[in-house]
Amino acid sequence: MGLLDNIEGQVMNRVMGSGNPMAAAVLQMIQNQPGGLQGLIQCFRQNGLGGVISSWVGTGQNQAISPEQIQQVLGNNTLQQVAEKAGVSPDQAKSSLADLLPTLVDKLTPNGQVPEHSSLLQMGESLLSSLGKSA
């Protein structure tokens, strides 16, 4: 596990310098979620939004999510942490998450499948590099 932790730390350092602090905060939130991306998916299912997140993982159209639904799933503590890392208010964070999370989950689950942990880190780094260039 030490090597994986080291790689995760390197990726997160690069992510933080990518120029897109909200995307970096969201990826860090996913990484810190118990169970990672799979844990986040389970959280959505437990809160009655399994169909929404399944649309993001799947290969079809992504269903929209409201900022209030984001707050319902993630809770105030997680929203506060994301807001602090991104340098925005919790209200801005939940609105940004409602816009950004469907796209990030979609891009992190190519072919409608949740990747292995190490592949997820590589894909996150690549995604943030492209977001940094377009920001």
Domains in the chain, please, with CATH?
2-126 (1.10.10.690)
The pTM score is 0.72
How far from the centroid of its chain's Cα atoms is residue 80's Cα? 15
Determine what percent of the chain is predicted with pLDDT higher than 90. Answer: 45
Query: How many angstroms separate the CA atoms of 87 and 13, rounded?
Result: 17
Q: What is the pLDDT of residues 32-46, one digit of tens each?
A: 888 888 999 999 999
pLDDT band at 84 (very low <50, low <70, confident <90, very high): very high
How large is the average pLDDT for residues 7-24?
A: 57
What is the reported pLDDT for 20? 78
Query: How many angstroms separate the CA atoms of 36 and 28, rounded?
Result: 10
